[in-house]
Amino acid sequence: MRFVGCDGPRWFLRGVISGQAAVQPEAAEVLEKIFRETVVVRGDLPMAPRDPIVLKLPEDAQMVADGLPQQPAAEENRFGGDPLNPFDRGPEITEIR
């Protein structure tokens, strides 16, 4: 894990980078760019120390960063059969004595 931070007037922005991006600089580029372009609007209201500021995404925020490979919506199941559904019941373990 890698921790990054930026100190501002009456606020501190903290980020945690994990996985491959924590050890490979080229994998962390997108996350570092997002961190650098984050705008903090603290407001004038008093807040307790370490009280989190509400995170609001811009109206035009994208779910997938530009430049990353996008996976098709309906990906084929490599085990064959129907695609996996996380809401279907899976195999159950029973004990017979």
Does residue 14 lie in a domain region? yes
Does residue 68 lie in a domain region? no
CA dist., res. 54 & res. 40, Å (int): 10
Q: Give this prediction's pTM.
A: 0.55
Number of domains making up the chain? 1
pLDDT tens, the chain, 97 aa long: 999 999 988 889 999 999 999 999 899 999 999 899 999 988 888 989 888 888 888 888 777 655 555 555 555 555 566 666 777 777 777 766 6
Does residue 69 lie in a domain region? no
Per-residue pLDDT at 56: 85
Q: Indicate the residue type of 80.
A: G
Does residue 90 lie in a domain region? no
| CA end-to-end distance (rounded Å), the chain | 46
CA dist., res. 22 & res. 19, Å (int): 6
Instruction: Give the dihedral sign, CA 76/82/86/91.
Output: negative
Does residue 81 lie in a domain region? no
Per-residue pLDDT at 81: 62
Q: Which domain holds residue 11?
A: 1-43+51-58
Per-residue pLDDT at 86: 73
Per-residue pLDDT at 16: 93
Does residue 31 lie in a domain region? yes
Does residue 7 lie in a domain region? yes
Does residue 27 lie in a domain region? yes
From residue 55, give the alpha-carbon distance in Å to each of 3, 11, 39, 96.
19, 13, 10, 52
